Chain A
Amino acid sequence: MRKDLKELWSYRELLFVMVQRELRIRYKNSALGLIWSFLNPLFQVLVMSLAFSIFLKVGGKSHTVYMLSAYLPFMFFQTCVLDSSQSILLQLPLIKKIYFPREVLPLACVLANLIHLLIGFVIFFALLLFVYIMDPRIVPFQINTVFLPILVLISAMMATGASLIVSALNTFYEDVKYIVTVLLNLLFYMCPILYYAENVANNDTNLKSNFLLYKIYNLNPMAALTHAYRRVLLAPKEIDLGAGLHAHWMPFPLKYLIVCAVFSFCLMVFGYWFFNRLKWKFVERP
């Protein structure tokens, strides 16, 4: 593996150019360009909160912002995995002609999406600033936000691992992409994005089982991570659980976040090893 890493390092220029190309191609023929990186999740969230605030009547007035804070990192993971699942197949003609370390392709997808995520966060903070200017009594910023880079790092490791595995497998069996789409959909509802982690903590099953449900729920690395993102980005005193119930924020899930970080690191290392085992077979796919 060290030899592979060394080679990858010697191709860092290519990785850089590949990311640049990835960013250029995506919005090449669109007028708004990179702004779509933020508009996409924003519209998605607006549609969801429309249903929540008008039809379901749950969530407070800033539900949209809460959803966005969790949806941005989730969307990063999702697009990384889906983009890179196709990355090898799309570049197969190139791979058949010229040698370069194949892992550059999924890695470029992850890095390009990481840039989209960062742009998303910048605009997210601009949105908070807008809220503050509109009503200076609400101060939506908080000191914990300095930990955001750590969370982004964990996200990036997790996405890298998953992308390497999925891109390698999907090259041989294109069913993988469809299976992954279903799994991502499941993962979406297993994470506190549409609802709050507090909904899980305060529901009957959890209280009866002496917080067992909440513990199991948080063992899902993505759920713990999503919860952590929310706690780091926003700091309300209490949240609206719907049906007139209010609850205090659950404490920052540090224990589970450490589990998540270790898991993400292992996933990345395993993914790299797995990809390297298969990468010579890509061009010989029967």
Chain B
Amino acid sequence: MNTEFGISIKDVHKEFAVNHTGIASLKSLLVFWKKRTLVKREVLKGISLDVKRGECLAIIGKNGAGKSTLLSLLARIYKPTSGTINVNGRVAPLLELGAGFHPDLTGYENVYFNAVILGLTREQVKERLPSIIEFSELGDAIGAPVRTYSSGMMARLGFSIAVHVDAEILIVDEVLAVGDQHFEKKCLQRVGEFRDNGGTILLVSHQLKSVEEFADRCIWLHDGNVQMTGKPAEVVAEYVKEG
């Protein structure tokens, strides 16, 4: 396996079955066996992509272009319909922070759970707990149930966990703008540090300015295909022109 690349994707297709009658039920299965309205929709139509270690790749494109599907494939949430995906290293998805929080458990208990899901052992969580709590700036609120948190607090805690799990690859889906100005700056700084230490970053954003500032390379997805790859400034300029 080539270890120069953090991520290597070859000719990946992804199809989803779309059911027009809504959630499947046994009744609809039995009654409409003959005329099931399962429509296949191809979301990714043959994507090939290599991302070097330590590179920051931005993905831009319209809604429904397949950006999030691509990231989910890399996070191993889906299996591709065809093609191969090689990911070297642990992936920490920053997709919608705090996805796994349980409202009735305290912040402390949720940190445990989320960090272990992302691949830490309980021992490691225990070691990093002070640092996680300090970064999140939650203070004493860490002992309160998460249902009492504001959305900003939840996002801060989620981000704090994700950057403490020693991932080699960070997947950032439109979530850098969490919390207030002060925390956003801190996040960006932390992500920068992560990159300086040789971490690979995949960034999906509609904020074209931050893409230009942050990324080394940019790809533009259009309708499941790679429309253009290149320097962020050039790709963004072309993307804006297209409108």
Contact = CB atoms under 8 A, between A and B. Distances in A.
B122 A17 contact: yes
Contacts, number: 78
Nearest to A21: B113
A109 to B, nearest CB: 15
Contact of B99 (A24, A98, A172, A174): A98
A176 interface: yes
Contacts of A176: 26
Contact of A97 (B17, B100, B121): B100
A98 B118 CA distance: 8
A25 interface: yes
B240 interface: no
A149 B96 CA distance: 44
Interface in A1-54: 13-14, 16-18, 21, 24-25, 28-29
A283 B14 CA distance: 13
Contacts of B18: 286
Contacts of A21: 102, 105, 109, 113
B121 A13 contact: yes
B112 to A, nearest CB: 6
A172 B104 CA distance: 28
A97 B26 contact: no
A97 B95 contact: yes
Given A173-B24, A286-B18, A280 B105 contact: no
Contacts of B96: 97
A135 interface: no
A98 B16 contact: no
A26 to B, nearest CB: 10
B25 A286 contact: no
Given A14-B117, A286-B17, A29 B112 contact: no
Nearest to B123: A13
Interface stretch (B71-79, B129-137, B205-213, B214-222): B71-79
Contacts of B79: 280
B27 interface: yes
A95 interface: yes
A179 to B, nearest CB: 8
A13 B122 contact: yes
A61 interface: no
Contacts of A29: 104
B237 interface: no
Given A21-B113, A95-B77, A173 B29 contact: yes
B77 to A, nearest CB: 6
Contacts of A100: 117
B38 interface: yes
Contact of B105 (A13, A25, A172, A283): A25
Nearest to A283: B77
Given A28-B104, A283-B78, A175 B113 contact: no
B26 A98 contact: no
15 contacts: A17-B116, A17-B122, A18-B113, A21-B109, A21-B113, A25-B105, A96-B77, A98-B99, A98-B100, A100-B117, A173-B24, A173-B25, A284-B16, A285-B23, A286-B16
Given A17-B112, A175-B26, A286-B38, 9 more contacts: A17-B116, A21-B105, A29-B104, A96-B77, A98-B75, A173-B25, A174-B25, A280-B79, A286-B24
Interface of A: 13-14, 16-18, 21, 24-25, 28-29, 93-100, 172-176, 280, 283-286
